[in-house]
């Protein structure tokens, strides 16, 4: 039985019973008295488990002075990839936070996260030195804009925006009803009802040039509607009018792509020739085209035809940028 499994076994036995004798532990764990003693000391000293010896019953039990809600769970560095990502991301974000009104609250929280990370066999300094999270292509969001959006979002007020649309390069003045903020691929987006377009829209927060809370009450949109309209298709640029992209990856690239999740509703299958066929729902093509292009010659768009055309055009434009170079 691995050490982690023994910790969980000790925890479960103490929770299920009033008291557990040493002999019962040793029999259940199938370890020597010395090993059991080391495990117990580790849980007490490193995890702060409130385990005490009860002389009256000649057994171990939880300290009655410690409420159930105060008992520590078993973390350690047996975290799942998602859990270690969450903890390290939180620790990094709190460390990068500028001094402000939350300092008195966030520093104890950061120390608690560090303590949690260090409850395993390795120190938190070793963990943060050896395991790192590197944000990629994140864009700066002015703090005052973010504050305006969160205030309006929670108080259910409208926001007047000056928005620089990147696709067409235009700047528009809009009034929107914020519905939710989304963190996607290391950048912030705002789901909102746009009163100019009379429709739901997604706004890149970093593209907002000016934001101000207005007196108007925000229009509420049901969560299921938001999910249906904005979360059905591919990525943050999605919508309810979805299509299905059919992509064929080379046998070489299939080793990676077969392990990737592009969309919760994707379908993938290994072909007889070793290639990987991936079907992905999407609503708007720009983000999907960018993801396809990064695989170069290792991917071919089989359908729909409009997506094939969009990718082919981008590839031709890229090739044209290199034609003639180095000649003459």
Q: Tell me the per-residue pLDDT of 42-99, one tens digit each, with 9 for 90 and over.
A: 888 877 788 999 998 999 998 887 765 455 555 544 556 666 677 777 777 777 665 5
Say which CATH architecture domain 243-320 belongs to.
Answer: 2-Layer Sandwich (3.30)
Alpha-carbon gap, residue 145 to 127, rounded angstroms: 35
User: pTM higher than 0.75 for the full model?
Assistant: no
Neighbours of 284 (CB within 10 A): 19
Say which CATH architecture domain 143-230 belongs to.
Answer: Roll (2.30)
Q: Tell me the per-residue pLDDT of 156-189, one tens digit each, with 9 for 90 and over.
A: 999 999 999 887 789 999 999 999 999 888 889 9
Residues 6+ apart with CB under 8 A from 29: 1, 6, 9, 10, 35, 36, 39
Question: Which value, in Å, is the radius of gyration of the alpha carbons in the chain?
Answer: 27
Q: Contact at 8 Å (CB) between 278 and 291?
A: no
Domain locations in the chain? 3-70, 83-130, 143-230, 243-320
Torsion of CA 185, 186, 190, 196, to 10 degrees: -70
Neighbours of 24 (CB within 10 A): 14
**DSSP designation for 2:** -
Alpha-carbon gap, residue 41 to 62, rounded angstroms: 14
Domain 143-230 matches domain 243-320 at the CATH topology level: no
Q: 3.30.750.24, 1.10.260.40, 2.40.400.10, 1.10.10.10: which CATH number matches 3-70?
A: 1.10.10.10
Three-class DSSP category at 12: helix
Burial class (CB in 10 A: 0-12, 13-18, 19+), 282: buried
For the chain, which residues score pLDDT lower than 70? 1, 67-84, 96-105, 116, 118-122, 236-240, 324-328
């Amino acid at each position: 039985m691995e050490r982690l499994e023994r910790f969980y076994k000790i925890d479960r036995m103490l929770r299920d019973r009033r008291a557990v004798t040493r002999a019962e532990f040793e029999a259940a764990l199938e370890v020597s008295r010395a090993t059991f003693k080391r495990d117990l000391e580790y849980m007490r000293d490193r995890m702060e488990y409130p385990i005490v010896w009860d002389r009256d019953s000649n057994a171990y039990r939880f300290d009655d002075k410690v409420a159930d809600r105060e008992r520590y769970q078993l973390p350690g560095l047996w975290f799942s990839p998602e859990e270690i990502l969450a903890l390290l991301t939180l620790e990094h974000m709190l460390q990068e936070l500028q001094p402000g009104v939350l300092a008195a609250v966030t520093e104890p929280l950061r120390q608690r996260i560090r303590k949690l990370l260090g409850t395993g066999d390795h120190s938190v300094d070793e963990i943060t030195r050896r395991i790192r999270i590197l944000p990629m292509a994140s864009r700066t969001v002015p703090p005052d804009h973010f504050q305006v959006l969160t205030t309006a979002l929670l108080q259910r007020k409208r926001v007047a925006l000056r928005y620089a649309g990147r696709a067409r390069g235009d700047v528009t003045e809009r009034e929107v009803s914020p519905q939710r903020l989304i963190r996607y691929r290391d950048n912030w987006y705002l789901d909102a009802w746009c009163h100019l377009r009379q429709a739901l829209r997604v706004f890149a927060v970093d593209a907002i040039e000016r934001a101000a809370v207005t007196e108007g009450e925000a229009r509420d949109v049901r969560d299921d509607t938001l999910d249906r309209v904005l979360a059905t298709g591919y990525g943050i640029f999605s919508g309810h009018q979805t299509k299905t992209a059919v992509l064929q990856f080379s046998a070489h690239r299939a080793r990676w792509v077969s392990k990737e999740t592009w969309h919760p509703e994707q379908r993938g299958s290994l072909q007889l020739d070793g290639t990987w066929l991936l079907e992905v729902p999407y609503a708007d093509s720009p983000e999907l085209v960018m993801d396809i292009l990064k695989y170069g010659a290792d991917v071919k768009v089989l359908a729909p035809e409009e997506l094939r055309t969009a990718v082919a055009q981008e590839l031709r434009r890229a090739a044209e940028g290199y034609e003639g170079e180095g000649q003459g």
